[in-house]
Amino acid sequence: MNETLSTADGRQVLRLERELAHPPEEVWRSITEPARLSEWYPFPVTGIDLRAGGEIGFDDGEGTRSSGTVTELEPHRVFAFTEEGDLLRIELRPGGQGTLLVFTHTFDDRSAAAATATGWTCCLDALEDVTAGRPARAAESVVERHERFVREFGLDEPTVESTSDGWRPRFHRPLIQRPVDAVWSVLTEGSGVEVGGAVPSACTTEQVPAGAVVDVQPPRRLEYEWTSDGASVGRVRWELADGRGGARIVLTHSGPDELAEQRDVALRAWRHTSRRWPTASTPPPADPLRGGPPRGRPADTMARYVPGASLWRRT
């Protein structure tokens, strides 16, 4: 399977390919018949008006309903529709004894790209089973898939900004199956943190000497001074936000122009530290709606990872 992430007209375009050992006519049934589509798509489908401009309806049975619009339809070849501002397009290409399925998803939030790809690869696993007449498999290796996409899409790379009096690297790191409360507990080592107090070691790195805590807003924000030769010279700020499929860590490190050489040292240190973030959490709870491992019908659990506001279940 091939997965790529590109940009078009300022939006993110995720492209996935999957070779299926079935003719296009059979795969077409799995992507356009509501009962079959409901078995692998992130939301149960209530009906499809199978024509360009027709409506496709979703209802999870728990009070969440939404609809999309069919934007492109070419029987046994192309099926595309919008859902909550996103565009999803499925193209079927005959080849040998089977079909090459090309799936594209156009959306806005780049930081959600790894969770999006994780969700769709799991969904396409289920589509393969449904088309073959097998029970849809449960989602597997969710964290491992997510981390692979983070690396492949460059979502673990920092940005570096120049400020009026110095420099400011920022890491914006998505996690999956790690809710904010669990990540906060690990960062603060399960203890209370107070302004003026010591910085928890999990929030520090050896190359950036920590001073005192200057701001703390559990479980969202922790900021502290960092020092050089015993004097405060800048700030390190940790922020946690709710993302699609898990928490997002935003780490910002500011420093003065006269310590420009320390910027590269800090970048190397935080990049090394960030590799531990995906697993730096207590074991996730069993309930997938609260950030735990997927259970139950594969398409139901993938609703947490695939974008489209109506398809997401937040903690």
Q: Are residues 175 and 265 in the same domain?
A: yes
Whether 287 shows a pLDDT value over 50: the answer reads: no
**What CATH number should be reported for the domain holding residue 242?**
3.30.530.20
Query: Which tens digits make up the pLDDT trace of 225-284?
Result: 999 999 999 999 999 999 888 999 999 999 999 999 999 999 999 998 888 888 665 444
Q: Does residue 59 lie in a domain region?
A: yes
Domain that includes residue 37, residue range: 2-139+294-311
Q: Are residues 195 and 255 in the same domain?
A: yes
The pLDDT value given to residue 293: 36
Contact by Cβ (8 Å): 247, 183:
yes
Q: Are residues 74 and 173 in the same domain?
A: no
Q: Does residue 267 lie in a domain region?
A: yes
Query: Which tens digits make up the pLDDT trace of 108-145?
Result: 999 999 999 999 999 999 999 999 999 888 888 898 99
Show the beta-strand stretches assigned E in the chain: 2-8, 11-20, 45-48, 55-59, 65-74, 78-83, 86-95, 98-107, 159-163, 166-174, 210-217, 221-228, 231-242, 247-253, 255-256
Q: Does residue 41 lie in a domain region?
A: yes
Q: Are residues 169 and 232 in the same domain?
A: yes
Q: How many domains does the chain have?
A: 2
Q: Does residue 154 lie in a domain region?
A: no
Query: Which tens digits make up the pLDDT trace of 185-211?
Result: 999 988 889 999 999 999 999 999 999
* Cα–Cα distance measured from residue 86 to residue 249, given in angstroms and rounded to the nearest whole number: 25
Q: Does residue 286 lie in a domain region?
A: no
Q: Does residue 265 lie in a domain region?
A: yes
Q: Are residues 41 and 11 in the same domain?
A: yes
Q: Does residue 149 lie in a domain region?
A: no
Q: Are residues 98 and 172 in the same domain?
A: no
Query: Which tens digits make up the pLDDT trace of 58-73?
Result: 987 788 889 999 999 9
Q: Are residues 8 and 55 in the same domain?
A: yes
79 or 282, greater pLDDT:
79
| Whole-structure pTM value | 0.84
Amino acid letter at 228?
S
Q: Does residue 287 lie in a domain region?
A: no
The CB density around residue 225, as the number of other CB atoms within 10 Å, is 17
